[in-house]
Amino acid sequence: MTHPAKDPFPAAPAVLTRTRRQVLVGAGAAGFGALLGSLGSPAIAQGLKPVRISEAIHLGMYASVYAAVHGGYFRKHGLDVAVSSAGGIALAVPVVLSGNASFAITGAGMSVNATNEGAKLVNIAKIVGGVAMWAVAKPGTNIRKLEDFRGKTIATLRFPSSSIQTPTFAMKERGGFDPESAGVKFLQLPAGAQAQAVLDGRADVATMFEWDVSIAKQKFGLEPVFAFADIIGPLSWTTAIATKALVEKDPALVQAFCDAIAEAQAALQVDRELFLKASFAEFPQIDQAVIRAAADNLLTKSTAIPKNPTISKAEWDTNMAFEMAGGSVKSPRSYEEMVDNRFAERATAKFAAAKKSS
């Protein structure tokens, strides 16, 4: 929903100490409880507000969040943030609905599905602003346009992963053909198994996020042969989702969150070292050469990292078409109902003004 501007929200608490962050894969209520126990009360005593974020899975394209952590923007805006990976695109919103996180970072369609089942949610910020996905294949594979996917087997993650939704939407909405009718088969595999399926011939191509694209090139000699962002364009691919109750009860918290994301996104546009610093810290198991190679794909060859967190109606409508074509959303909902842009707009204006004055 969109609203007219209101009086300024209460200021976020002053920042007096550093942010602590823990990543817990597959955390539910018990995991978050343990996390809170480890954080203890010093953050409250020293002026920071503890905040829990549930991300779908741990992905390089969520760099806006990681930059806000490691660039100090969350703590600058008074928040002591802990991020936990829920373990799947459909799992982050239930963590918020259970009261074990304030914000979910996942596909916007998940907020629609939950709302269709009776939840009251809004999308408050754009985290990923484009389709950061590539088709990867053996060198010499002739896939340069959507028609070339006809009759091919595509290695993907398991439904409702965007690795299935993205090619499905692209073929239906941009290519004008149905994948099933065109003989396209999706080979759904666990994370990390897609490259091997291409190497051993079970699949012709694999659809991948970064870091997997750069890993596939460095480790397996595969190449990105098709960029879906080139034909799909901007959309609200991943958003920050909150309950309407939180927005009404604690607008200062929502504003502080959006301020931190907006400032981090603005910084990422001009400071590649921030991207590298945050990514090295978040993904110590990934070769730094892979992360450096992936930076081009995420920062310059796609709109994955937004310039600001606002969500436009056009982006929302494109995303709804994307989710419907991919099958992850059965009944769409309107931009006016599902997006509360006030906080992101305020944050964007604030940091645009700050940039002009600097």
Query: What burial letters (b/e) apply to 118-134, b meaning 16+ CB within 10 Å?
Result: ebebbbbbbbbbbbbbb
At 34 the pLDDT is 37
What pLDDT band is residue 29 in, cutting at 50, 70 and 90?
very low
pLDDT band at 272; cut points 50, 70, 90: very high
3-state secondary structure of 303: coil
Mean pLDDT for 59-82 is: 97
Residues 124 and 241 in one domain: yes
CB 347 within 8 A of CB 258: yes
Asked whether residue 119 falls in the same domain as residue 267, the answer is yes
Query: Do 255 and 347 belong to one domain?
Result: yes
- Same-domain check for residues 210 and 241: no
Residue 15 falls inside a structural domain? no
327 pLDDT tier (thresholds 50, 70, 90) = confident
Q: Is the pLDDT of residue 229 over 80?
A: yes
Nearest CA to 247 out of 129, 171, 343 is that of 343
Cβ atoms 305, 279 nearer than 8 A: no
Mapping DSSP onto H, E and C, the string for 199-240 reads HCCCCCEEEECCCHHHHHHHHHCCEEEEECHHHHCCCCCEEE
At residue 7 the predicted structure's pLDDT band, cuts being 50, 70 and 90, is: very low
Residues 122 and 270 grouped into a single domain: yes
Give CA torsion, residues 122, 123, 124, 127, to 10 deg. Answer: 160
168: domain range? 134-232
pLDDT band at residue 356 using 50, 70 and 90 as cut-offs: low
Among 185, 307, 255, residue whose Cα is nearest residue 6: 255
Same domain for 338 and 249: yes
Residue 268 lies in a domain: yes
pLDDT at site 354:
57
* Phi and psi based region of residue 19 (left: phi greater than 0; alpha: psi -120 to 50; beta: remaining): beta
Query: Whose CA is closest to 241, among 260, 257, 262?
Result: 257
In a domain, 51, yes or no: yes
What is the amino acid identity at position 229?
A
The number of distinct structural domains making up the chain is 2
Place of tokens 């809004």: 122
Residues 334 and 351 in one domain: yes
Mean pLDDT, range 27-35, rounded to an integer = 36
Q: Report pLDDT digits (tens) over 103-134.
A: 999 999 999 999 999 999 999 999 999 988 99
Q: Which amino acid is at 216?
A: A
The CATH number of the domain holding residue 217 is 3.40.190.10
Q: How much is the average pLDDT of 46-66?
A: 95
C-alpha–C-alpha distance, residues 117 and 165, integer Å = 22
Domain boundary among 232, 249, 271: 232
Where would I find the H helices in 40-179?
Answer: 42-45, 63-70, 73-76, 92-97, 108-116, 162-169
Same-domain pairing of 259 and 124: yes
Q: Which residue has the higher pLDDT, 8 or 333?
A: 333
Max avg pLDDT among 20-29, 44-53, 172-181: 172-181
Same domain membership, residue 258 and residue 202: no
Q: Which of 176, 202, 232 is the last residue of a domain?
A: 232
Q: Are 153 and 231 in contact (CB under 8 A)?
A: no
Read off the pLDDT band of 191 (50, 70, 90): confident
Q: Which residue has the tokens 């073929």?
A: 171
